[in-house]
Structure 1
Amino acid sequence: MSDATARLGLPFIQPGQAQKELYHNEALALLDAAVHAAVESRGDDVPPASPSAGQSWIVGAAPTGEWSGRAHDLATWTSGGWRFLAPVEGMRIWRRDTGVFAFWTGTAWRDGELTGNAVVIEGKTVVGLQQAAISDPAAGAVVDDEARAAIAAILAALRAHGLIAT
């Protein structure tokens, strides 16, 4: 049996272990930070001067002070001091400062990105995978400049949003 869980590194209570409540309480403090996680901000390298219990941050790439050596970790202030949790691939954390989720790719945090195969609203796919490019209008027997301009604008908007290929 190992000393900690495989994914989040939460401490296990070992048979015959003294002061089991310390390990149990440590695991609960880390779970409290990780489950439905929300952070004040991401990328800070210096710990805040007066954090409140329960506040969390995603540590920056070059941390100093009490965060030293904890680059990209989730840092949570508790009544017992800082608790750190290393991110695991796929971890999503709400950023209070920007109002978007941060996503850990396994090597870096990405902000505000959603990934998937479709946008489905009430069971109906409204945006699916990107389709092949639509040809721009070209000269024909009857040319309607206004219609052509409108079609070109629609195509440009769809391309700008990434809904169709260029």
Structure 2
Amino acid sequence: MTVLPTPRLALPLLEPGQAQKEMFHNEALALLDIATQAAVVAAMVDLPPAAPATGQCWIIGAAPQDAWAGQARKLAGWTEGGWRFLTPRDGMRVWVAADQALALFSGGEWYQGRTYGRLFIEGRQVVGPRQSNVAEPSGGMTVDAEARGAISAVLQMLRQHGLIGTD
């Protein structure tokens, strides 16, 4: 490896006059292949598979064993040259085929099943920041009036959350 790898993915850089530059270049390409449009077979796996196919990747769990020992929470990709490990950066997202969902790396941990941000459909925001809860209905002598009030409050909150239209 070179003295100064790239700052984000720690890819090996070529140096002037370096011998066997193709080895460093190929190593960088192998790691880029794992990182770009990242997709893994499964996440939080601690044991390497017995017979991985070239190009398959996994998110390593917290207690890796065997060939993955010491590589906790990294991406592991099987190449023709063996295992390659990529240290994730905050904000990295990876498609997890086994779960049909994205995993997000943040604060040194992988999170699955979480969504951040706002949702827009056809240019219109349908989900935004969370608002306060709808209060439970109270009072009222007639059940119908109380039910109408509760339904109105629910509709108002759904509008504020952007889940239903205002028109």
- TM-score bracket relative to the smaller structure: 0.7 to 0.9
> Does 1:11 pair with 2:12?
yes
Q: Which amino acid aligns with 1:128?
A: G
Q: Which amino acid aligns with 1:130?
A: R
> Does 1:122 pair with 2:119?
no
Aligned partners of 1:141 and 1:90: how far apart in 2?
53
Identity %: 52
> Does 1:107 pair with 2:108?
yes
Q: Which amino acid aligns with 1:51?
A: P
1:133 corresponds in structure 2 to: 133
- What secondary structure, in the 3-state scheme, does the structure 2 residue paired with 1:48 have? coil
- What secondary structure, in the 3-state scheme, does the structure 1 residue paired with 2:28 have? helix
Q: CA RMSD in A?
A: 2.7
How many residues are treated as equivalent by the alignment? 158
Contact 1:45/1:64 (<8 A) preserved:
yes
TM-score with structure 1 setting the length = 0.84
Aligned partners of 2:61 and 2:141: how far apart in 1?
61
Aligned partners of 2:133 and 2:59: how far apart in 1?
40
Contact 2:39/2:94 (<8 A) preserved:
yes
1:138–1:146 distance in 2 versus 1, CA, 3 Å: closer
> Does 1:144 pair with 2:144?
yes
Aligned partners of 1:142 and 1:106: how far apart in 2?
53
Residues 57-77 of structure 1 show CA distances to partners (whole Å, capped at 9, x for unaligned) of 011111111111000000000
Structure 1: which 5+ runs fail to align? none
2:52 corresponds in structure 1 to: 51
Structure 2: which 5+ runs fail to align? none
Contact 1:137/1:148 (<8 A) preserved:
no
